[in-house]
Chains A and B, each alone.
Chain A
Amino acid sequence: MTMHMVPSHIDTSSLTKEETHAWSVLAEVMDPEVPVLSIIDLGIVRAVEVEDADVAVTITPTYTGCPAMDMIRVNIKMEMMAAGFKNVTVKQVLSPAWTTDWMSEAGKEKLKAYGIAAPLVKQQVCHQELFAPDEAIQCPHCDSWHTRRISEFGSTACKALYQCNDCLEPFDYFKCH
């Protein structure tokens, strides 16, 4: 397996063969709402522990109310069992709180190819300034920066709705969080 599957906060040199196997299984578990992203691309897998044939996976939600978490939990169990693990536990942690900084570069590329603008590096969602100018977001279809925000809330809690002023296509922007 290639090491870019493992998020950067994990020291890959200390991984056992079984743990590496478990990480590679997780790289196949997709986010149900953005099916081009694996849960590792998304940065929500925080830890993996393997003991004999048992595996414990620790995940963190993107947003508090993310309705995909239950499904992700089930999918992790199914994929792990299919890969030969016996007892699979999925734990949820809330702290440290997930941030779009944990999304992998590969994940951001996949988002763009899927038609969703990837989160900017700078944290802008959590500012308090009222009526701030729209963030400059690049259109994932034609690469124009000439875009405008239609709605701060989009098709899912983690996205805002934008439209490109040049190619006129509407698109989702994965909000920086």
Chain B
Amino acid sequence: MNEYILLHADNTLIIGHRNSEWCGHGPILEQDIAISNISLDLIGQARNFYQYAAQLRNDGSTEDSFAYLRDVREFRNCLLVEQPNGDWAQTILRQFFFSNYQHVLYSELQGSSDLELAAIAEKALKEVTYHLRWSSEWVIRLGDGSGESNERMQKAVANLWSYTGELFMPAPCEKMAAEQKIAPDLLSLKPKWEQRVKEVFAEATLPFPGAGFMHSGGKEGKHTEHLGYILAELQFMQRSYPNAQW
């Protein structure tokens, strides 16, 4: 159960952190604000999950110790969320894949037999709906835009598609959560997710890639090299100045 909560906490923290790297560097001011706001929502969700995990564990763990004092192998986020921002197309596409996943997941999770998880999902679903709409529109705008924007979207699809399979490969904790009716069966969510991708890609004039080789390992703590760099930046203060507060 704790593992299951941490998996969602880590997913939302890491993609929230990635998006926050755009703060001050967005292509235009409004979109800089948009991606920063989305970051804030995601990191807020991460806090809710971490706080709940800390409360259940009841061993002195806190939201901060989870975020700042665990090393790469202890993080359970999927590989998709730690992939580099690349250009705007790649960031947008990563957000679209992830928001789409969150949308199908939280829609079910809000009916969880675990009331706290249900509440976190119910609350977050409103924001996720917004993120999904925003990122869908951008995928279409770029895919169906100029020759260059279409080319960049295609490149982003080529870079990221093989990281999407892991979202729906259940880790042991996800299987257990589904058996206990705490969480939905991931495999049952996949067709809904694919349907949405197909619809948006069709409008964006992007080919739907279909089945193929998929990376995995993040949910077991086997990450790409990128996560270490993210944590180096994210955790620097607490590592160098333990218990520093501001």
Q: Which residues of A contact B (CB under 8 A)?
A: 61, 63-67, 93-98, 125-131, 150-155, 157, 161, 177
Number of A-B contacts (CB under 8 A): 80
CB neighbors of A among B100-140 (8 A): 115-116, 118-120, 122-124, 126-127, 129-130, 132-134, 136-137, 140
- B145: Cβ under 8 A from any A Cβ: no
Cβ–Cβ contact A152 & B44, under 8 A: no
- Contact A64 B30, CB 8 Å, known A94-B122, A125-B126: no
- Contact A131 B33, CB 8 Å, known A65-B40, A65-B41: no
Cβ 8 A contact of A128, one of B33, B37, B115, B132: B132
Cβ–Cβ contact A64 & B119, under 8 A: no
- B78: Cβ under 8 A from any A Cβ: no
Q: Which label, helix, strand, loop or mixed, suits the secondary structure of the A interface? A: loop
Lowest 5 CB-CB distances: which A-B pairs, in order? A65-B44, A95-B119, A151-B30, A64-B44, A94-B119
Cβ–Cβ contact B42 & A65, under 8 A: yes
In angstroms, Cα B33 to Cα A150, docked, is 12
In angstroms, Cα B119 to Cα A153, docked, is 24
Q: Which residues of B contact A (CB under 8 A)?
A: 30-31, 33-34, 37-38, 40-45, 47-48, 115-116, 118-120, 122-124, 126-127, 129-130, 132-134, 136-137, 140, 203
Q: Which residue of A lies closest to B43 (CB)?
A: A65
In angstroms, Cα B203 to Cα A61, docked, is 36
In angstroms, Cα B115 to Cα A93, docked, is 11
In angstroms, Cα B31 to Cα A96, docked, is 30
Cβ–Cβ contact A63 & B127, under 8 A: yes
Q: Which residues of B contact A155 (CB under 8 A)?
A: 33
Known: A64-B41, A125-B130, A126-B126. 16 other contacts (CB 8 A): A63-B41, A63-B44, A64-B124, A65-B42, A94-B122, A97-B122, A98-B123, A125-B126, A128-B129, A129-B133, A130-B203, A151-B30, A152-B130, A153-B37, A154-B33, A157-B37
